[in-house]
């Protein structure tokens, strides 16, 4: 049996179990597998749910935030509030080019149908993300993606493996917005519904980060 086929079978077995478990149990499973674990966030709406859950199980977890520089004020305020509230070991990475420099040279964010938009997405999100992964080299990656967010994510399972061989775990994959709001209310967590990601464009469109 080749390694890729063996990996697929193992994933099927893992997902067959985790699909019936709670988000907390999925997190606990990932933490048990490896200490070399990374949690990513963009401080978008309801991100506080996974950040809170993970820190209850693994305090001072390494958290990656790719700050494009295009975030709205509410996002930066939420990030500050959650850093004060939770024991986050936050790593903030930024693109090599600043927003001001890009705007001066290119006249602003390219439209989705502009040929330059893919290059823009690489520069402001994917390149800094991949650079950090290459340096940190996590075995496991915890992410807050959910099935109801995009058509692509609708077909995802709790666990997958990236092209780089990182085990990606989505504990909230099958959660609905109402569940997220209830969790925020129960734990008195802050939230910010105003959010802007220049790499995504229309709702339910992938920026490319989770398609790699």
Residue 203 belongs to some domain of the structure: no
Number of separate domains in the chain: 1
Residue 207 belongs to some domain of the structure: no
Residue 47 belongs to some domain of the structure: yes
Residue 212 belongs to some domain of the structure: no
Query: Per residue in 2-58, pLDDT tens?
Result: 455 445 558 999 999 999 999 999 999 999 999 999 999 999 999 999 999 999 999
More confident call, 6 vs 88: 88
Query: The domain spanning residue 119 has which CATH number?
Result: 3.40.50.620
Distance CA 212, CA 203 (A): 19
Q: Which domain holds residue 50?
A: 3-198
Residue 174 belongs to some domain of the structure: yes
Whether the predicted pLDDT of 212 surpasses 90: no
Is the pTM value of this prediction over 0.85? yes
Average pLDDT, the chain: 92
Please report, rounded to a whole number, the percentage of residues in the chain having pLDDT higher than 90: 81
Residue 204 belongs to some domain of the structure: no
Residue 121 belongs to some domain of the structure: yes
């Amino acid at each position: 049996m080749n390694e890729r086929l063996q990996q697929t079978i193992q994933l099927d077995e893992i997902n067959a179990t985790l699909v019936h478990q709670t988000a907390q149990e999925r997190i606990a499973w990932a933490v048990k597998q490896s200490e070399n674990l990374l949690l990513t966030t963009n401080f978008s709406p309801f991100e506080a749910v996974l950040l809170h859950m993970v820190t209850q199980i693994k305090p001072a977890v390494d958290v990656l935030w790719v700050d494009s520089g295009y975030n709205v004020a509410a996002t930066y305020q939420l990030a500050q509030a959650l850093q004060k509230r939770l024991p986050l070991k936050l790593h903030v990475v930024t693109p090599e080019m600043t927003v001001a420099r890009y705007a001066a040279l290119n006249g602003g964010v390219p439209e989705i149908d502009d040929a330059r938009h893919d290059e823009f997405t690489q520069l402001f999100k994917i390149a800094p993300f991949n650079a950090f992964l290459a340096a940190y080299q996590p075995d496991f990656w915890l992410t807050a993606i959910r099935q109801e967010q995009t058509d692509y994510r609708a077909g995802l399972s709790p666990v997958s493996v990236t092209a780089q061989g990182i085990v990606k775990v989505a504990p909230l994959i099958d959660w609905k917005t109402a569940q997220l709001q209830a969790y925020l209310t129960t734990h008195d967590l802050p939230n910010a519904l105003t959010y802007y990601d220049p790499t995504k464009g229309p709702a339910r469109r992938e920026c490319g980060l989770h398609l790699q």
